[in-house]
Amino acid sequence: MGMESGPLEEKMSFLVMKTDRLKPIMVFMLVTLLTAFLPNSAAAQSADEIVKRADEALKGDRIYSTSRMTVYKSGKAQPVQEMEGYSMEKEGKSYSLSIYTAPNRMKGTANLMIEDDLWVRFGSTGRTRKLSSSAKKNSAGGTDFSYADMGDGGQGISEKYRARLLGDDTVEGEDCYKVELLAADSDAPYEKMVVFITKEGFRYLRIDYYEGNANIKSMTLHDFRTVGSKVYPFRQTMENHTKPSVTVVEVIKLEMDSSKVQDRLFTIGYLESIR
């Protein structure tokens, strides 16, 4: 004859059923905690990959450009600055040369950057000086762009910063990844940046620059055009948040694989010969 189940057996059966129901919740919580504390999480790798793809989208072999820059101080336009730009990648190194052609007070001024090293030839004195890491943060030609902003495009942001995906956002109607970048290199010109990269095409649309927790300036990129196999912004706007100043850069001409970009341009000797 079978035994009837008593109160103790009923209580044990209820606990087993309750534990089975909790298993999926416990597993979910465990996975969530492990993901949060793993140093090489999928989210971190994804952020690095997003930024690298955005950098690659701007890189090209032997790029020649002409552009003009206009600084607006308290809404008033200053004399337009015109310049020629040369850049190339060779044997794993990045090279860039920017030469001012106007106005007269800036003519002959040029910036040569080889990897992290930057030399400036001042047209007003004819002297050439190698800038320190701290000096690279100074304003270039009185604009809202620093010397580092003007010359660091060859290496790309991903080389000097650790990336963390903050989430999604919308900029000018486009779906973007919002990524925080913290300096991982002593030569990084900014402590922190927050970048907005389009999900389609991996294009930088906005970059916010920080000193400490203060957003000191923001760059927005517009007027994207296809040049060869690349899509480039032909207009960049840098807005200064510490003073009433905005600088607009407009690309006039852009050539990929240009014969104008020759190795001899990226030397101190050539820099000093510029007039």
pLDDT tens column, 43-96 = 555 999 999 999 999 888 899 999 999 999 999 999 999 999 999 999 989 999
Of 1-15, 90-104, 155-169, give the range with the top mean pLDDT.
Answer: 90-104
Q: Which residues contact 235 (CB under 8 A, 6 or more apart)?
A: 221, 222, 223, 248, 249, 250, 251
Predicted TM-score (pTM) of this structure: 0.81
Which has the minimum average pLDDT: 147-151, 162-166, 264-268?
147-151
122-155: per-residue pLDDT in tens? 999 999 999 988 888 899 999 999 998 886 645 6
Contact 206, 196 (CB under 8 A): yes
* Predicted confidence band of residue 159 (pLDDT cuts 50, 70, 90): confident
Number of helices (H), then strands (E), belonging to the chain: the values are 4, 14
pLDDT at position 6? 56
Mean pLDDT throughout 33-49?
A: 55
Return phi, psi of residue 17, to 5°. -60, -40
Instruction: Write out the two tokens for 37.
Output: 């504390």
Confidence at residue 20, expressed as pLDDT on a 0 to 100 scale:
53
Question: What domains, with CATH codes, occur in the chain?
Answer: 44-273 (2.50.20.10)
pLDDT at 266: 98
CA distance readout (Å), 64 to 8, 60, 130, 249: 85, 10, 24, 15
Residue 3 main-chain phi, psi, to 5 deg: -90, 140
Q: In whole angstroms, give the CA distance from residue 93 to residue 56.
A: 15
**Contact indicator for 111, 271 with CB cutoff of 8 Å:** no
pLDDT given for residue 35 in this prediction = 37
What pLDDT shows up at residue 28? 42
- Where does the pLDDT of residue 237 fall: very low under 50, low under 70, confident under 90, or very high at 90 and above? very high
* Residue linked to tokens 């007027």: 223
Of 72-81, 138-147, 165-174, 183-192, the range with the lowest mean pLDDT is 183-192
**What mean pLDDT, rounded, does the chain reach?**
86
Task: Write down how long the chain is.
Answer: 275
Exposed / middle / buried, residue 19 (Cβ in 10 Å: 0-12, 13-18, 19+): exposed
Tokens representing 30? 């465990």
Q: How high is the pLDDT of residue 186?
A: 79
